[in-house]
Amino acid sequence: MQEFLATPIAKAVLWITVLLVLVVVGYYLVRRFRDRIDDDQLTASDLLTNFREMRQEGDISETEFRTIKTVLGRKLQDELKDAGGDD
């Protein structure tokens, strides 16, 4: 049996198998990590709510809030278009 494992073909098959196992494990880890990252992103609506609370607490000025609201308003419209297109 050791003589068979010493042949170049057997070594190649063994290393290819090891490589495939590593690729599958890597794919699984990357996919799991990416899924977790996607869950952490806030929507434009959530961000706007947070900034509205900051304005009410006095952390940001009315002018700053209006600027943020303008930018997030565009993103919110894009999100609504994307959500409407999924139906």
pLDDT for residue 65 is more than 60: yes
Q: Is residue 5 a contact partner of residue 11, using CB atoms and an 8 Å limit?
A: yes
* Helices then strands, each counted (H, E), the chain: 4, 0
Provide the token pair at 19.
Answer: 């490589």
Least confident range from 31-35, 54-58, 64-68: namely 31-35
pTM score, whole prediction: 0.47
Distance CA(68)–CA(65), nearest Å, equals 5
Q: What percent of the chain has pLDDT over 70?
A: 89
Provide the token pair at 53.
Answer: 């609370």
